[in-house]
Amino acid sequence: MTSEKTMDLANVRRQYEKGSLKLEQLHQDPFLQFRQWYSDAESACRFFPNNVVVSTLDDDLQPHSRTVLLKGLDEKGFVFYTNYQSRKAQQLKSHPRGAMTFFWEELERQVNVCGTMERVSEAESDAYFATRPRGSQIGAWVSAQSSVISGREELHRRQAELEKQYLDKTVPRPPHWGGYRLLPQRFEFWQGQADRLHDRFEYIRQDDASWLIQRLSP
């Protein structure tokens, strides 16, 4: 007999059997490997293949994780956008390192990337902000992200004020809102396999900017 406060999840399991991953299949460049897997995820996933869990550290070195949307990938790294006054932004100011975890259930694949974090340029943030739906642009001004509020009425009141303020005008990017880029130092590509004997390969960036590739035990 189990307590009402106990969740017995011992029998929640699945067998992974949708693919395998071999060394000879991997690109030497992890960015190219990621692009290939992301393309597969775009075709296979029903919702938001760019969902990614971003993890940061607070001043007590306690980890914090949350899901954001990946909004860019270039030869330097992975880009997402947020409020620079948010909890994660304050953590990155003190500890400019982080990790991203992608999980594509339909493919039974996971990618983990870790490295340093830096703000993107003002021009990059401006260019992306201009592509956002107007409601999201207003929302960036409305929300003092991560701060305590009295209720949704506070948000709706501020939203109405800003919609009036910017009626028939272009909504500018708030100075407290912009992007971060994760500059990878390590990638791990994980492919689910039967009996929990998963395929795992990591790429570690070397001093000469090449990548060491090695298989990990599951």
Q: What letter represents residue 79's amino acid?
A: V
Q: Which domain holds residue 192?
A: 23-130+176-216
Whether residue 170 lies inside any domain: the answer is: no
CA angle at 86 for the pair 80 and 92, rounded to the nearest 5°: 65
Do residues 39 and 27 make contact, with C-beta atoms less than 8 angstroms apart?
A: no
| Catalytic-residue membership of 35 | no
CATH number at residue 33: 2.30.110.10
Whether residue 141 lies inside any domain: the answer is: no
Whether residue 169 lies inside any domain: the answer is: no
Place of tokens 């919609």: 163
Whether residue 145 lies inside any domain: the answer is: no
Q: In what helix (H) or strand (E) does residue 55 lie, and over which residues does it extend? A: strand 51-57
Mean pLDDT, residues 188-207: 96
Whether residue 159 lies inside any domain: the answer is: no
Please state the domain count of the chain. 1
Q: How far apart are CA 185 and CA 183, in angstroms?
A: 7
Tell me: the pLDDT tens digits for 112-170?
999 999 999 999 999 999 999 999 999 999 988 888 888 999 999 999 999 999 999 99
Catalytic residue among 35, 66, 134, 196: 196
Whether residue 17 lies inside any domain: the answer is: no
Structure-token pair, residue 118: 């830096």
Instruction: Provide the whole-model pTM.
Output: 0.91
Whether residue 104 lies inside any domain: the answer is: yes
